[in-house]
Amino acid sequence: MGFLSPKDVRTVDMLSAILRVADGLDASHTSTAGIKDVRISPGQVTIIYRSSNNIEHEVAAVDEKKDMFENVFKRKLVLKWK
């Protein structure tokens, strides 16, 4: 028997998925990308970010870490730059 209820496990999974994406958005640890907006639709979550620097490293990191987010929230994660 586990220590967490199924609801608590779901909450931990959701927060972990969000944290993984946030960690990817600051993969270079330079606070390069700032989130401008988040748009949620039935099949997709779009994060619109802004940056004056090259953030290829961050985009690649999010691509590597977004699988948990997509599995937990049952939505595709899309990054858009403005």
Residue 23 lies in a domain: no
Shortest CA distance to 58 belongs to which of 71, 68, 70, 49? 49
Shortest CA distance to 54 belongs to which of 81, 76, 78? 81
- Domain hosting 70: range is 32-82
| Burial (CB count <10 Å: 0-12, 13-18, 19+), residue 46 | middle
Residue 65 lies in a domain: yes
Conformational region of residue 74, where left means phi above 0, alpha means psi within -120 to 50, and beta covers everything else: left
Q: What is the identity of the amino acid at 35?
A: I
Residue 64 lies in a domain: yes
pLDDT of residue 28: 85
Whole-number mean pLDDT of the chain? 91
Number of domains in the chain: 1
Q: If you average pLDDT over residues 53-61, what whole number do you get?
A: 87
